[in-house]
Amino acid sequence: NGQIEVELVPMGTMAERLRAAGAGIPAFFTKTGAGTLVQHGGMPMRYSPDGKRTVVKVSVCKPASLFRPPMHPEAAPQEHIMETAISGDFAFVKAWKGDTEGNLVYRKTARNHNPAI
């Protein structure tokens, strides 16, 4: 029907969500995005098809928990939000070389997030 929804996610969180799915981890907690629209919801995800800025769907509130840093038990607890793992059906990756079995060799910055995908 030509509609698209957008979820804005910090880049490191997106990479970790993909890595978690590959490792069989269903969800994890992160400080990134705590206290923002990423956690509290209300960020526009879809506008009406008539071209006006009427918001049709907004992001939902994510579960959160308070944790103390393990190396500093006397520190104040910090809020973390729970992110769920996601997996893709296919991915475009950049590699220096590869073989017919799918083994890839990365160079320079291509090593950043490509292996997790």
Local confidence band at 26 (pLDDT 50, 70, 90 cut-offs): very high
Residue 108 or 85, more confident: 85
In 3D, which of 55, 68, 59 has the Cα closest to residue 29? 68
- Per-domain residue ranges of the chain: 1-86, 89-117
CATH number for the domain running over 1-86 = 3.40.1080.10
Predicted pLDDT of residue 24? 93
pLDDT greater than 80 at residue 111: no
Can you give the pTM of this predicted structure? 0.73
pLDDT in tens, 36-51: 888 888 888 888 887 7
